[in-house]
Structure 1
Amino acid sequence: MYKKLKYSCVGQGVLRASIVTMLCVLIYSLVTAFTPFSPKVTSAFIVVLTLVSVLYGSVYATLQSGSKGWLIGLLVAVFYMLILYIVSVLCGKGFGVDGGDFIRLLLAMAVGSLSGMLAINLEN
């Protein structure tokens, strides 16, 4: 009747999203070493990169799972953002969460859910 949720797919999606983020940040840091960008451009890049990474990870995880796309996408987004938060705390940002972080979390959750639904429809 109901398929059991495959948690390993969520982990694989988060891992793939994290790899995309690391590669893009590496490329961006190489570019900014030679061409400085304003903080607004960097902030916009980080938001777009977060959403693209969540989209990719959610679509991959949902295609692997085959069901419950919105839930798989939501879980990928939440765990991805949790990992980003932990990494930023370890890098010295502090434990505080401001309004921008909260909005980024909500956007990631929305993109994760919607891309999970999209992946279910792509599969059929």
Structure 2
Amino acid sequence: MDTPYLKAIGGSFLTMLTLVIASSLILATILRFSSFTEQSLGAVTIAITLTITFIGGLVAAIRAGSKGWLLGLLAGVSFVLLALSIQFLGYGTPVVLSQLIVFSLCIVTALIGGMIGVSIRSSIA
């Protein structure tokens, strides 16, 4: 892959990582200072995760300007691989079917974000 595409994936990955850390801090603060439980925020967490992967695919495609579906796919796969690595290697817990479904949706939303990102880039230029 060419250097602009690698820079686009790197920028996308950093964007997703920053958004994950920021949303984690916000959710942790909400859990700490309210009566919400982790179980009550499950759907919110999934929605935030899907939004973050969508934004990651969007950022990759806007930065590169072409091959949005491929860059979105790579952004989604990199996000999923990081999450799987942290879960399996860091915590030693196996992956369950519901997580595979969410991870698949993450890849799809990043791919869609990549397609939309190319359209946004071409409409701006």
TM over 0.5: yes
Runs of 4+ in structure 1 over 3 Å off: none
Q: What TM-score do the two structures reach when normalised by structure 1?
A: 0.87
List runs of 5+ in structure 2 lacking aligned partners: none
List runs of 5+ in structure 1 lacking aligned partners: none
Match of 2:111 among 107, 110, 113: 113
Sort the Cα spacing of 1:115 and 1:28 in 2 relative to 1 into closer, same or farther, 3 A: same
Higher mean C-alpha deviation, range 21-30 or range 4-13 = 4-13
Identify, as 1 or 2, the structure richer in helix. Answer: 2
Q: What TM-score do the two structures reach when normalised by structure 2?
A: 0.87
Q: Distance in 2 between matches of 1:69 and 1:11?
A: 14
Q: Distance in 2 between matches of 1:90 and 1:23?
A: 23
- For residues 33-73 of structure 1, the C-alpha deviation after alignment (integer angstroms, 9 at most, x for no partner) is 01132444322122111111111111111111111101100
For the residue of structure 1 that corresponds to 2:42, the secondary structure is: helix
Q: How many residues align?
A: 121
Higher mean C-alpha deviation, range 104-113 or range 80-89 = 80-89
| Aligned-residue offset at 1:90 | 4.4
